[in-house]
Amino acid sequence: QVQLVESGGGLVQAGGSLRLSCAGSGRTFLYVAMGWFRQAPGKEREPVAAITWSGHTTYYADSVKGRFTISRDNAKNTVHLQMNSLKPDDTAVYYCATGGVVTDSGYYGMDFWGKGTLVTVSS
């Protein structure tokens, strides 16, 4: 059974930083893309960042470019999201996802999701 477990969410003041992590288990993640989505209250889930297995291709939403950095540790089946210069608009539940395709314009066709971790940015 595939499991994705997110951690690292919490409450932070605007301008602060958080580092999210997602640990995967139950399958091989060899050649599998991984990424992050978020869903704010009253809004649809949106892609935030994604990375291919090799790390050669990454995707970032325009709203987070220059502030967020995605990375992965293939030996540990983990993906991280370093979030700097956080804004109140970044407040959302952040979900880890695997599978699919990463392009420089988006992240599509994910097959597994975590349960999410809440990030709250106060003004």
**Which residue type does 57 have?**
T
Give yes or no for residue 29 having a pLDDT over 90. no
pLDDT of 6: 97
CA dihedral 80, 85, 90, 91 (to 10 degrees): 90
Q: What is the mean pLDDT of residues 18-39?
A: 94
- Tokens for 107, please give them: 């992240």
Q: What is the mean pLDDT of residues 14-42?
A: 94
Give yes or no for residue 102 having a pLDDT over 90. yes
pLDDT of 72: 96
Strand duo 92-98 + 112-113: pairing: antiparallel
Q: pLDDT digits over 38-93, tens only?
A: 999 999 999 999 999 999 999 999 999 999 999 999 999 999 999 999 999 999 99
Give yes or no for residue 28 having a pLDDT over 90. no
Asked whether the beta carbons of 106 and 97 are under 8 A apart, the reply is no
